[in-house]
Structure formats: C-alpha cells, structure tokens
Amino acid sequence: MTLLNSKFQTVHDTAPFTQIKNADYTPAFERAIADTRMEIDAIANNAAAPTFENTLEALAFSGMSLDRISSIFFNLNSAETSDELQEIAQDIAPKLAALGNDITLNEALFKRVKAVYDQRDTRSFTPEQEMLLTKNYLSFVRNGALLNEEQKNRLREIDSSLSLLSLKFGENVLAETNNYQLHLTEAADLAGLPEGAIEAARSLAESQQLEGWIFTLDFPSYLPFVTYAENRSLRREMAIAAGKKAFQNNEFNNVDNVLQIAKLRHERALILGYDTHAHFVLEERMAQQPQRVLQFLNELLDKATTAAQREFAELTDFARDLDQLQQLEKWDAAYYSEKLKQQRFNLDDEILKPYFKLENVLNGAFEVAKRLYQLQFNEVHTIEKYHDDVQTFEVTDGDNRLVAILYTDFFPRKSKRNGAWMTSFKSQFVQNNIDQRPHISIVCNFTKPTATKPSLLTFNEVTTLFHEFGHALHGMLAQTVYPSLSGTNVYWDFVELPSQIMENWCYEKEALELFAKHYLTAEVLPMDLIEKIKESANFQEGMATLRQLSFGLLDMAWHGQDPTGITDLKAFESQQFAATQLYPDVAENAMSTSFSHIFQGGYSSGYYSYKWAEVLDADAFAYFVENGIFNREIADRFKEHILSKGGTEHPMALYKKFRGQEPNPEALLKRAGLV
C-alpha cells in the first residue's frame, strides 16, 4: 500500500504533496481501482433487497479513495506536469474509463438502482436524495445500461479512445505553447511596450543565459506584446504563432485528434439513442435542446452584430486616421482597441496596474467574501504545497469553524497549462455525521514579480481572479451530503453564475476602494479612474459578444450535427465563423486545434453557457444593486440557495428561491449596452 492509499497524516487531511513520489501513482491507482471494484461488487451482489441506503447511498460513497488520488494526480498534471506524469496519465486514463464503463454497464448494479427508482413514489425523499436517485438512474441509462452486449463493448472502446485523445490534445497544446518564444536583441523592437513587460522579458532571457528579451505565448507575456508593441510585423509574428498552436506540420498537430474526438463523440451519442453529442449533453443542462442553444446564441447575435460592425468600422477609421492603415488584421485588434480606449476614456491598463497589486486584489476578494458571507482567510504555512508559488489558506466562518482549505497558484511556468481555472483536491460531503470540508484551488497565469516590481494586474486579470474566486466560493461554501452533488457539481450552464457574478464587484466604487491601492503610495484608486472603469465597461461590447458567440457556435457546429463528413478542419471552421467574422482570415491559423475548453475540458456542447450564465448573473447582480452590493440579506439568500446547495436541486428552482422569479434577459442587454 502506498502513501496515497492511506489516511493522510497531515493538517486537515490535506494532500501530502512533498511526500508523494511519481512512482507512487501507478500502484496507488491500481490498488484504488481494485478496491473500488470490490465496493461495487459488494453493492451489486448484496443479498438484501435494494434500498436507497444499501444501494444509492452506498454507491455515492464508493470509490472515495480513487476520487482523492485522481484529483491530486490530474490537478498536478494540469498545474505542475512533467513527461513522467504525462506518461502515467496515458497509462491510467483508459483504466479509469474502463472502470467507469464497468460500473455503469454492471447489470446487477443497475437492476438494484432501477428497483429503487421504480419504487420512488412509495417513500419520501429529501430533495437531495431525490436528485441523487434520479441522477444515478439516468447516469446508468445515459451511459449504456440498456444497450446490448455488442453496443456495450463498442462504448467501452470509444470511451477508452476518448480518454487518451483528450489527454493527447492537451499535451500538444502545452508543448506548442512552450515551444515558441520571440527572442529580441534590438531595443528598438520594444517601442511602445510597458516597462513591466520589458522587465519580465529581460528576466526570462537572463534565466536562459541569453542577451536581450524573450516573449512567449503565456498570456502575461503575449497580451502586453500584441496590445502595445509598435512593431506591426512582430505583433503579426506573435499573433500567428498563437493562432497556429497544434495546427502545424509537426508531431504536435491536433487536427486528427479533433476530428477523431468529434466523430467518436457522435458515434457514442448514436449508440445511446441520441441524434448528436449535443443532444446527449444538453439533456442534463438548463438549455435542454441544441435548438434552444442555437436560438439563444442567434438572438444574441442579432442584437450584437449591428453594434459589432459599427465598432469595427469605428476602429478601422481610427487606425486609418492614426497610422494610414487601410486594413485591420487580427494582430492589430488589441493594439488599436487599446489606443482608441485611451483616447476616449484617457484610461489604459498601465495607468491602472499600479493600483492592482496581486496581493491587494486577492485580499480584496477575501474582504468582499467577508462582507458578504462572513468568511476569514488566514494564510498558513503548515500545509504542504506542490510548488513554491502556491499559497495556502485556512478559511473560517464567523464562529471560527473551518469552512475550507484554499490553495492559490498564480504564475505561469512550463509545467503548467495556460488559462485560469478552479478545481478541488477534496470535495465537501457529510458521512457518519462528520462534515468533511473541501480543499479548493484556484490556478491562474499572471505576471510574475520582477526584481523591482511586484505582480501588478491588468484590470482584465483582476476580473479573472474574482471570476475564479467565485467558483472557489461555490466549492468552499458547499453544504451537501453527497460528494457527487457538492459544490460545482451542477448543470454546466449554471456553474458560471457564481463565478461571473463576482466580476461585478470589480466595477463598484464601494468594492474597489477596499483593495485598489497604489502599490508604492497606498493611495486609493482616484474617483475619476473608477468612473472611467465603469464608463469603459461596455467599450467594444458588441465585438466582444460576437467573439464569444463565435466560439459557442463553433462548439455547437462540432457537436450539434453529424461530423463524419468533415475532412478539412480549416474549411469547416471558416464556414462556421462566416456569420461572426470581422477581421480577415489568417490561412495558417485555426481555433479548434487549441480549443481546450471543448476538446480537453468539460465544455463540449457547453461553451454557450458563459453567455447563458451572463443572463443569470446580470439579473442576480441587479438584485444586489437594488438593495446594496453588500446587503447581508441578499448575500445570505445567494449563499443559502445558490452557493451551498450545489447540484441538489434543479438550478432554475434554486435560482427562483434566491431571486423570487426567473431571470430577465433585459438585465444583460442593458448592462452590455445592446439595448
């Protein structure tokens, strides 16, 4: 038995990162998989008549050790990976897929679950028990319990293949991100770049024993370059490098992986009796049907297109007047948008960044959570970490009881994938009357401190931190019995409500004054800058909406129809982007080959949920604004009906309990300036 299979002898049962060796993972997985099989067999072969307690509840608490090992391993494979971890993942993923199939295709087990489900009207359940019963029954049906043996075998093959393809897709994107760097040795090429970006690039070059400056595709390096660099040809080089990740003629090309994933998902859906993968996925979403998603996206498209085209024409005229540029290209987008924004609002990120020191912003998020939910965040140094960049916090309530453990990991490195996300190392649940509190992590990629400056965030990075912190609150404040219904285990088009609503506080004077303080003088962000932040909130909102809709429509195109006839990925993409395209196409670029949300993450047929949740968050925050952004009564309602309940009830039922009504889409359109 390895350390990973034992009860951890650590503070709050936290993961013993410093004690785990890579060699521990494979035997730990094999032992935990075997133990889980024994637990499942015991439930399936129980001689007693099936009951909720001996079947559904027993199933809910089976495989707990495996879940814990998986969360540790796969979180590290995203945030602190290595060649060795990636090899282990390739070995383990099919075994986990096989176990999942063996559980959902276990006839004896399904008979017991079905027996309880068929008798559900003869006894009373709590809403959470009813949800657990319904979700488990549907999980079996939706994953092949009613199939014949030949179909079940094909389903096993597909799931094994998909698990490997998804891993390979992510590995290729990370490799492509790491393989490119722009090495500059002429100071003239740095014209226009902020001092902080130059210093970070110099620091990176020095770390590689090189002269000059190095810029990479990591967001804190890439974004300032394409936003501020005056050298258009270098902006072009960077933008094209970012756009052709995993779309190059090399070993990291993802074209075949994308085509195979889409086709296997479609075949899987057909075997299970669904028209498409989107029909399968959306059955357990608020939207329910692909037609409703497309209607939602196209209605927004109608509202946004006129505004987007007007904004693009305005930007084109601005670039022509400023630099005699006749045709805007994608590598001009951020550069001229920033210049226009500066001219219109006399506001740019370089003015704002000194007021957004990372530590202050994080403490600001903590303070907002304290005022809303009476939470305290105390940094501790007794909890083991997987990297020196990680910070650890004990989160307590007003009575000093432990609410959660929070890990934060904010800086890019080669072992970490791009982007920002929230995850958990341990879910919240209640077993044997003991409330097991969750261990939550937020991972971002912000600019690292340099020799002369702390990490200073752009305003977009401020909202990113608050967004992921909103997800973290959803995990930390969970109060459910069963782990599978806890925290962010909710309908995918509901999961973004707690995260997106938190971004709203970043635009409010009352909240900004808590943390937006100059890192040198401690001066609070001046009132005129706060007003400009609010004024600029809708700047180019039409173009931004069109961009988000293009991703949602591409996702639905891959998954809402039969993809078996697609042979040319680029041509297919171009067709899907036609309705949302503003800039000329770049022949050597593709979106899908690095679209990790839908081909590696859990957003297939679900990217629309960002806009869907914006309707919810705009309506919900309007409720706060009407009553005060720190109103305790409204915050208590949000905590009780949204943050603590996880997936224990249908999300619309929870939302109506919080708000007293269904969400009004007008709140989003007004906030976005589209009406």
Catalytic positions: 468
Helix ranges, 451-579 (H): 459-476, 497-503, 509-515, 527-535, 541-559, 569-577
Rounded to whole angstroms, the Cα distance separating 129 from 148 reads 30
Residue 472 CA neighbour count, 13 Å, CB half: 31
Structural tokens at position 455: 């990490």
Q: At what angle do helices 333-345 and 219-228 cross, to 10 degrees?
A: 70
Type of residue found at 309:
Q
Q: What stretches of 143-289 show up as alpha helix (H) in DSSP? A: 149-179, 195-207, 219-228, 232-243, 255-271, 277-282
Q: Please state, in angstroms and as integers, the Cα–Cα distance from residue 100 to each residue in 59, 130, 265, following that order.
A: 13, 23, 16
Are residues 354 and 520 in contact, defined by beta-carbon separation less than 8 angstroms? yes
Both tokens of 631, joined, read 């109103």
Can you tell me the distance from the alpha carbon of 210 to that of 218, in angstroms, rounded to the nearest whole number?
A: 19
Q: How far from the centroid of its chain's Cα atoms is residue 648's Cα?
A: 21
Whole-Å CA distances, 569 to 564, 566, 584, 602: 12, 7, 18, 21
Query: If 0-12 CB within 10 Å is exposed, 13-18 middle and 19+ buried, where does residue 361 land?
Result: buried
d(CA 406, CA 373): 16
Residue 617 tokens, joined: 């968050």
Amino acid (one-letter) located at 64:
M
DSSP per-residue string spanning 107-133 = HHHHHHHHHHHHTGGGS---HHHHHHH
d(CA 64, CA 56) in angstroms, rounded, equals 14
Region of 346 on the Ramachandran plot (φ > 0 left; ψ -120 to 50 alpha; else beta) = left
Q: Identify the CA nearest to 514 among candidates 531, 530, 528.
A: 530
Using the structure block, give the residue that is written with the tokens 């270098």: 234
* Residue 410 vs residues 358, 457, 515, 518, 574: alpha-carbon distances, Å: 9, 11, 18, 20, 35
Q: How far apart are CA 484 and CA 171, in angstroms?
A: 28
Please tell me the distance from the alpha carbon of residue 662 to that of residue 669, in angstroms, as a whole number. Answer: 16
Q: Which of 90, 117, 114, 116 is nearest to 104 (CA)?
A: 114
Gyration radius of the chain over CA positions: 25
Cα gap 98→89, rounded to integer Å: 14
Task: Residue 593: name the closest of 562, 546, 561, 554 by CA.
Answer: 554
Beta strands 402-409 and 391-396 are antiparallel
Residue 218 Cα distances to 206, 227, 445, angstroms = 17, 14, 8
Q: Which two tokens stand for residue 190?
A: 């740095």
Q: Do residues 417 and 78 lie in contact, with contact meaning Cβ atoms separated by under 8 Å?
A: yes
Q: Do 423 and 396 form a contact (C-beta atoms < 8 A)?
A: no
The CA distance from 75 to 77, in Å, is 5
The three-class DSSP label of residue 650 is coil
